Amino acid sequence: MKPHVLIFKREPAAWLALFAICVKLAVAFGLDASTDVQAWTNAVAAAAMGLLIAIIAKDGVGAAVIGFCQAGLALAVGLGLDWSTDRQAVVLSTITLVVGMWDRTQVTAPVPAASAKAPAIQGV
């Protein structure tokens, strides 16, 4: 079982809640951000926290990187990035490919290659 992940002795969910409340507080005191921008900002924060947890726990970092990139692109588009869906798909596909190529170097098989070979068939 993996150790419980804390950041500065606090649960990651507590940090996300604090961030979301700070965004709402900033809007209440004059920050001009629509509800969509607030939602996208919180989504990027959640994806960043997922990435941080994956790095700390050393588990599923590749998936967390891809999720963070997807959330970041969604926020950028929401803030006015004028990219077609085709361009977005190409960028996210490239990110997925690069992360997949990196992941491949980080994973080891649980069984040695020699024991994974199929047994020879006798008499054929």
Block means of pLDDT (10 residues each) for the chain, 124 residues, are: 72 86 91 85 87 79 86 86 92 90 70 62 62
Is-contact 76 92, C-beta < 8 A?
no
CA 94 – CA 72 distance, rounded (Å): 15
Is-contact 50 68, C-beta < 8 A?
yes
Length of the chain: 124
3-state secondary structure of 10: strand
Please give the pLDDT value at position 123: 63
3-state secondary structure of 7: strand
Burial per residue of 85-105, b for 16 or more beta-carbon CB atoms within 10 angstroms, e otherwise: eeebeeeeeebbeebeeeeee
Please give the pLDDT value at position 109: 61
Please give the pLDDT value at position 118: 60
CA 83 – CA 120 distance, rounded (Å): 55
Q: Could you give phi then psi for residue 107, rounded to 5 degrees?
A: -105, 135
> What global pTM score does this model have?
0.62
